[in-house]
Structure 1
Amino acid sequence: MKAFTHRVTIRWSDINAQGIVSDAVIASYVEETRAALIREIAATATEEAADRRLAYLTVRQCIDYLTPVRWQEQPLNTYLRILRIRPAATELQVRIGSDAHPLARASIVSVCWDTVRNRPRCLTDTQRHMLVTYLQPDPARSS
């Protein structure tokens, strides 16, 4: 299965005096990648689901900073894969940088939230089908 890919631009304001991107900005790159996937999911929502004003909330995020991210002119590649799909939540992993040179890796749990009823809402079959495109269970995890 393929990973969802996204490119983020390192802005001059993202770096410190040594030319290194701050950890808080790395977290924003992870969020930007997740948001790009959510926009794709939201585009598949039915009118009924859209009427409920769904939100996709991050309920857990853990980032491993593997090596300093330095400013570069070309956009930075990020890759998102789905580790597990639950009825109302997904477990995600975002990698910043290539397989050969990973810069950071984040583990995220995202929940589909019904803002009208103020509780989790199950993903639609269409949304699940789209997420399965990026499903790559972690072989190190036992299910």
Structure 2
Amino acid sequence: MSRFVHDVHMRWSDMDAYRHVNNTAYLTYLEQARVAMFFHRFESFSSGTVISRHEIRYLRPVVYHPDPLRIEVWVDRIRGASFDVHYEVLDHGVVAAQASTQCVTVDFAADRPRRLTDEERDVLRGFADDLPSGPGTG
């Protein structure tokens, strides 16, 4: 399966005093792409997910411009109650950042992690990518 691609528009307010997009804005960009990916094929996981870890490697600064950033997203390391989402953030075709997010499936009524369902595993496998890249891969 090829990577899921989502375009994210920067906001002028994402810039910091050093005249590049602030590192905190990237978490919002990643969230927008991750949510778009899941809603692309599946309305939601049966009880939801929480984020247990983020890792971002900044490779080059991004300066605001009106063109969207391209976020490529894929999934790997599907385990009993968690999975990893990986991202590449491209600015005019050049990788500006690589990131990963560990997601944990949760039963909110019981307030504890829960096992992925077979349907959820199938959805996640559909977002797999064989290209090694990003923090925590390889």
Instruction: State the TM-score bracket (shorter-chain normalisation).
Output: 0.7 to 0.9
Tell me how far apart the structure 2 counterparts of residues 60 and 102 of structure 1 sit (CA, whole Å): 22
CA drift at 1:40:
4.2
Summarize deviations over 1:30-61 as a string: whole Å, max 9, x none: 1222222343465165xxx3xxxx22111011
Q: Identify unmatched segments of 5+ residues in structure 1.
A: none
Q: Identify unmatched segments of 5+ residues in structure 2.
A: none
TM-score (normalizing by structure 2)? 0.84
Partner residue in 2 for 1:89:
82
Q: Does 1:66 align with 2:59?
A: yes
Rate the CA distance shift 1:21–1:44 in 2: closer, same or farther, 3 A: closer
Residues paired across the two proteins, number: 134
User: Superposition pairs for residues 110-125 of structure 1, below 5 Å?
Assistant: 110-125=103-118
Identity %: 30
In structure 2, the residue corresponding to 1:85 is in which secondary structure? coil
Tell me how far apart the structure 1 counterparts of residues 33 and 44 of structure 2 sit (CA, whole Å): 18
Tell me how far apart the structure 2 counterparts of residues 137 and 86 of structure 1 sit (CA, whole Å): 17
Pairwise CA RMSD of aligned residues? Answer: 2.3
Rate the CA distance shift 1:59–1:41 in 2: closer, same or farther, 3 A: farther
TM-score (normalizing by structure 1)? 0.81
In structure 2, the residue corresponding to 1:112 is in which secondary structure? strand
Rate the CA distance shift 1:60–1:138 in 2: closer, same or farther, 3 A: farther
In structure 2, the residue corresponding to 1:37 is in which secondary structure? helix
User: Superposition pairs for residues 1-143 of structure 1, below 5 Å?
Assistant: 1-17=1-17, 19-40=19-40, 42-43=42-43, 45=45, 49=46, 54-97=47-90, 101-136=94-129, 139=132, 141=138
